[in-house]
Amino acid sequence: MRNFLKTLSISSIFLCLSLFSGCQKNIPYENTEGKTFTNYFDVFTDSEGNLVLPLNTTIQLTMTDEKKLAEATTLVEAQLPFWHKLADSHHRYLDDQGNELHNVAYINQHPGETISIEPELAAMLSAAIELSQLSDGLFHPLLGSLSALWEPKFAPFPTENTDPDSALIAQITGCLPAAADLNEVLQLDPERRTVRFEPGACENSLQISLGAMAKGYILDQLAAELKPLNTPFLLDAGNSSIIAWSPDDAPYSWKIGMRDPSGQTSLLYAFTLTQGVVSTSADDQNYFLIQDGDQQIRRHHILNPLTGYSENWLRSVTLSAPDQAGTLDVLSTVLYNIEDAAQRRAMIGRFEAKTQLAMDYAWCEPADAGLKLTVSEGMDQKRMTSAAIPDFVDYQIQRGEKHEK
């Protein structure tokens, strides 16, 4: 899930969305529960001096205590560049000793070599393999070449374009290993802290990319550093991956909103969260339109590894759970590639069983008269009734379901 704004926070950070990223600001806002303060995080440079946006998006941290925000900002500034650089598949960096950092980009450029890596990157790659296998390959960590084929065509506004060469798409998807075989291509040795990337004859078609899980995964690591401050915070990566937290003895209700992907209104739905993570995938950022006879088709950045193309069964998916933003980022992408609603719910059940976390959902589908928004019973119970569901939305609650686990 890269480079797109998918959920809209309507708490104290609502007005911050129009500000430029890459500069750090400390700005107070009032909401119904009092004043909050928000900081943004600076860009940094790769080994060639190119400016890099952290996690390729706007990272903002909002807290209820200005002094604690300053302390928290220092913690995030110390950790965020480290994690981003490890997961970056496009840029290379120098480590603290001036040597080239062995990150994802470095691994991609050295196929067939046994490479020493940081234990944090080994854990991230291992998690990516496990989640790919859990999703039957609907999340795939080797989609880098396929994404690179599509990305130059996408825009954040309506524009017409053409598909990439279908033969190249078929070549790449034909090279993707089954999820069960990923360990043969990404050979991790946790004890020796090494990885060996073995694409074989598919060297030009396979590239590691953690874009569909990295934002949430890294937010999980940052949130672990912030929780000991015992102060409510909202950590937001591009409004697609969000962690909201407050202490048990001083709960604070953060307000989260789902943006309308059709653009007919600003918000489809809003809910509150005192502790938890949120992930959203949507098709209204990074896309283009193609004309197929009388029909206009939207091509977007959430690619199906089985076909090499994006699907149009959904307009957006929002998930909420108590923890594991990285896992939710993966699942929101996976659900986009499942047509049948019952199969989507079954996939959620599979992830719930693996993580032992209850997961709520809200997915938005195109409908003849507008949009259809289906929410789990738990998500409906979090809904802010003060934020009315738009008239053009068919709102449905999936009650009393039990996922197959």
CA distances from 135 to 68, 255, 313, 335, 342 (A): 39, 30, 18, 9, 15
Tens of pLDDT, residue by residue, the chain (405 residues): 333 223 333 333 332 322 222 334 444 444 445 789 999 998 989 999 999 999 999 999 999 999 999 999 999 999 999 999 999 999 999 998 999 999 999 999 999 999 999 999 999 999 999 999 999 999 999 999 999 999 999 988 889 999 999 999 999 999 999 999 999 999 999 899 999 999 999 999 999 999 999 999 999 999 999 999 999 999 999 989 999 999 999 999 999 999 999 999 999 999 999 999 999 999 998 999 998 888 899 999 999 999 999 999 999 999 999 999 999 999 999 999 999 999 999 999 999 999 999 999 999 999 988 999 999 999 999 999 998 999 999 999 998 765 444
Do 163 and 199 touch, CB atoms closer than 8 A? no
- Spatial separation of the C-alpha atoms in residues 285 and 154, rounded to whole Å: 8
pLDDT at 82: 96
What values do phi and psi take at 226, rounded to 5?
A: -85, -30
- Spatial separation of the C-alpha atoms in residues 39 and 21, rounded to whole Å: 10
**Helix ranges, 25-158 (H):** 66-87, 104-108, 119-134, 144-150
Q: pTM for the whole thing?
A: 0.91
> 368-381 in b/e burial notation, b at 16+ Cβ within 10 A?
eeebbbbbbeebbe
Q: How many CB atoms lie within 10 A of CB 291?
A: 10
pLDDT at 8: 36
- Spatial separation of the C-alpha atoms in residues 168 and 165, rounded to whole Å: 5
Q: How many CB atoms lie within 10 A of CB 355?
A: 17
Q: What angle do CA 56, 5, 294 make, to 5 degrees?
A: 115
